[in-house]
Amino acid sequence: MTSDGRKIDVKTVEKYLAGLQESFVVYQAKRYDVKGKNYLKTLDKYYVADIGLRYMLLGSKSTDVGHILENIIYLELLRRGYQVYVGKVDDIEVDFVAMNTGGLIYFQVAATVRDEKTLLRELAPLQKIADHYPKYILTMDEDPEADYNGIRRINALDFLLS
């Protein structure tokens, strides 16, 4: 809002976000410090219940497959009964820390990791996690599954259909 030249109070934004959450238009993903094993109070992320809302607000020219895929994976993890958080390892973000009674699963989501630089960027946060819970990179790449020292890269559609 401020970048659009409008002044708005933080409490007003919080009320709007609370209303959107209560009406199930958006979902809040709180932050979780993976190393410290505690919940953080700032920098929550929000995911929309219907991607069509994104198209309505931004138009089809603002299509960002990576963000849309991340939104879809978030909703699927919720549907599967996980509590889903955005992870933090040092200063790096883990897309999702999914928790249930069976333990934790870590996820990085990217449209593609065929570029070596992108692959290394997506691997970095998962490599910093010292525990032995499953770690995945989900992509739209139609390549065979790969394993990077215990971090599995799989096709997001295969994950969604499993």
Residue 106: the pLDDT is 97
Residue 23 lies in a domain: no
* CATH of residue 102: 3.40.1350
Q: CA-CA distance, 89 to 36, in Å (whole number)?
A: 9
Residue 73 lies in a domain: yes
Q: Say if residue 154's pLDDT is above 90.
A: yes
Transcribe 106-151 into DSSP letters: EEEE-S---SHHHHHHHHHHHHT--S-S-EEEEES--SPPEEETTE
Residue 19 lies in a domain: no
Mean pLDDT of the chain, nearest integer:
88
Residue 103 lies in a domain: yes
Residue 145 lies in a domain: yes
Q: Say if residue 54's pLDDT is above 80.
A: no
**What total number of domains does the chain contain?**
1
Residue 108 lies in a domain: yes
Best-predicted range by mean pLDDT (3-7, 12-16, 52-56, 76-80): 76-80
Domain range spanning residue 132?
A: 31-40+50-161
Averaged pLDDT, 117-127: 96
pTM (predicted TM-score): 0.85
Q: State pLDDT tens for residues 2-28.
A: 667 778 887 888 788 888 788 888 888
Give the range among 53-57, 95-99, 140-144 with minimum mean pLDDT. 53-57
pLDDT band at 61 (very low <50, low <70, confident <90, very high): low
Q: What are phi and psi of 101, to 5 degrees?
A: -65, -20
Residue 98 lies in a domain: yes
Residue 92 lies in a domain: yes
